[in-house]
Amino acid sequence: MSELNPPQIGPLIQDRRKERGLTLQQLSALSGVSKSMLSQIERSEANPTFAVLWSLTRGLGIDFVALLGEGQAMAGADSFIEVLPPEHTPTIRSADNSCQLRILSPPSLSGAIEWYDVEIAPGGCLDSAPHAPGAVEHFTALSGEFAITSGTSRHLLRQGETVRYPVDVAHSISNPLSTLSRGLMVLLYRQSSRGRNAV
């Protein structure tokens, strides 16, 4: 989401890089993130996107959640169930704090399918630039109402309804009510050139 900023984690990235004895150039080669961008991130002059964070965790050889310092997986010795407490779920917010997205999907699915718990304050609006070609969002209103815009199309989404719409064009989600609205967003990236109707 280009309109949202993840937590400031530049110092954490720098610490992990130095712990591994890596130069900026070496981490750049391992992660695919440019040296200049890495430098800006470490100085907290730029906020990395979700995709960039994923690339950095792969390059550093650490867990995405561990990098954020947002939580840890907890599982019994005889269990395959991983638990992420609510307070440890990575959360991103709009600059004006009117929109909050809790990242529910695992980092390993970034760039394929992502899902978010979305809360928008009264009058708040989540504006987004176009995503990758063929990308589609599925949005369900859990409470309240949402005004969904995709390109030149617009729909007022009421509680319990679900809409699906292309997001490879400019799009937005806003709350027209005087109370908080909450929804579930699923962002699906196309892995082929199939038509949108195949979603």
pLDDT in tens, 123-160: 999 999 898 899 999 999 999 999 999 999 999 999 99
Residue 51, SS3 per DSSP: helix
12-64, pLDDT tens digit by residue? 888 888 988 999 999 988 888 888 888 888 888 776 776 677 788 888 887 76
pTM: 0.60
CA 9, CA 11: separation in Å to the nearest integer? 6
CA 152, CA 19: separation in Å to the nearest integer? 49
CB neighbourhood size of 47 (10 A): 17
Helix or strand holding residue 166 (H, E): strand 162-166
- Phi, psi dihedral angles at 77 (to 5 degrees): -60, -30
Residue 46, SS3 per DSSP: coil
Q: Which is more confidently placed, 122 or 191? A: 122
pLDDT for the residue 70? 40
Closest CA to 7 of 41, 57, 56: 41
- Six-digit token pair at 74? 């907890």
